[in-house]
Amino acid sequence: MNPIYSKNLPNLAENIAKSVAIALAEDIGPGDITAQLIPTEQTAKANIITREQCIFCGKAWVEEVFRQLDPRVQIIWYVEDGQNAAANSLLFTLQGSARSLLTGERTALNFVQTLSGTATISKQYSDQVAHTGVKLLDTRKTIPGLRTAQKYAVACGGCHNHRIGLYDAFLIKENHIAACGAIEKAVAAARAIAPGKPVEVEVENFAELDQALAANADIIMLDNFSIDDMKKAVAINAGRAKLEASGNINEHTLIPTAETGVDYISIGGLTKHCRAVDLSMRVS
């Protein structure tokens, strides 16, 4: 696990251990009956390659799979998290019990293919806006049970993490505002409940933007603002709060949005639309 990418993620090692245990249990169940065809003493070597270019992610998950399954398995690494891997390149080699290699194969590769897919799309997006000062953020639209893992992968791809969950920052939306009675009241209540926690307010028009600025929100999310309206919002804000663009950001609107001068762009597609990387394990 690369500390560069994991420094802002709480309990990552603990989450990895739990995720791997669940994944192994659902795959192996009471036992791998196909692996029993292989003599217990037989050893093997397995090379894992990627069939397509990707940003690799998932080293710690692979290591945890074989730590829990069979700690005698040796892993030789040829790539680190966050590094580019060319198509048909060797990612890592496994050596040990043939039964263990085959039993752990799918679980290990499932983590790598998913997290590398997340890291790869994050890198594609981050490269497109490298000429601006904007930070691309993930969201809570993650695969259930893999929140921390996917947020780690997003960081590997050069993007950034929004709040981890419902506990580490306020995001005051339309329904919260309605329940509290006004943006000012919602922000004041948030400051009282958890002093020091970031307070973000989602706004849908310029009247709400003015109210959020008057309430001294730390971050203001511009929900589905047009490009021209985002430019106007940046001018109105004049650096008083951080501005985050959100809503229907895609490959066509990303660069124009980044060039408006907003501080952040949140993109649910970094985690919810990721496509698994095509991997292969060859045993000898």
CB 94 within 8 A of CB 52: no
7 is catalytic: no
φ, ψ for residue 125, nearest 5 deg: -70, -45
Q: Which of 141, 231, 232, 272 is catalytic?
A: 141
106 is catalytic: yes
Q: Which of 67, 173, 197, 272 is catalytic?
A: 173
Where helices occur in the chain by DSSP H, the ranges are: 3-6, 12-28, 59-69, 98-128, 147-156, 174-180, 183-193, 206-214, 227-237, 254-258, 269-272
Q: Which of 168, 223, 259, 278 is catalytic?
A: 223
Q: Which of 202, 208, 244, 263 is catalytic?
A: 202
210 is catalytic: no
156-173 residues labelled b (16+ CB within 10 A) or e (exposed) = bbbbbbbbbeeeebbbbe
Which residue is associated with the tokens 């070597």?
45
244 is catalytic: no
Q: Which of 18, 45, 106, 272 is catalytic?
A: 106
And the tokens for 123?
A: 């890198």
CB 121 within 8 A of CB 156: no
Output the CA torsion sign for 164, 167, 170, 175: positive
Question: What number of other Cβ atoms are within 10 A of residue 75's Cβ?
Answer: 17
141 is catalytic: yes
The set of catalytic residues is 106, 141, 173, 202, 223
